[in-house]
Amino acid sequence: MSIIITVSNQKGGVGKTTTSAAMCAGIARRGAKVLGIDLDPQGNLGFCMGLEGNAGPTVLDALNKRVRVQQAIRRLELCDILTSDITLSSSGLERLEPGKREFALRDMLRPVVDYYDYIIIDTPPALNLLTINAYTVSHFLIIPMAADILSLVGLSQLRETIDSVQHSVNKHLRVLGILVNKYNKRTALCRDVLEMAEQLANQINTKVFVTKIRNGVSIAEAPAHGRDIFSYAPKSGAVQDYLEFINEISDDIHLSEVMQYGTEISH
pLDDT of residue 50: 82
pLDDT of residue 211: 96
Those residues whose C-beta lies under 8 Å from the C-beta of residue 20, and which sit 6 or more positions away, are 7, 36, 45, 48, 120, 121, 122
For domain 3-261, say whether CATH 3.40.630.10 is its number.
no
pLDDT of residue 264: 53
| CA distance linking residue 93 with residue 83, whole number of Å | 17
pLDDT of residue 216: 87
Detail the DSSP E strand segments found in the chain. Answer: 3-7, 34-38, 74-75, 80-82, 118-122, 140-146, 174-181
Q: What is the pLDDT along the chain (267 residues), one digit of tens a residue?
A: 899 999 999 888 899 999 999 999 999 999 999 999 999 999 999 889 888 766 789 999 999 999 999 999 999 989 999 999 998 988 888 888 777 889 999 999 999 999 999 999 999 988 889 999 999 999 999 999 988 888 877 777 788 889 899 999 999 999 999 999 999 888 998 889 899 899 989 988 899 999 999 988 988 899 888 889 999 999 999 999 999 999 999 988 864 354 454 445 544
pLDDT of residue 120: 98
Question: Buried (b) or exposed (e) across 137-169, using 16+ Cβ within 10 A?
Answer: bbbbbbbbbbbbeebbebbeebeeebeebbeeb
pLDDT of residue 145: 93
pLDDT of residue 214: 93
Q: SS3 of 208, please?
A: strand
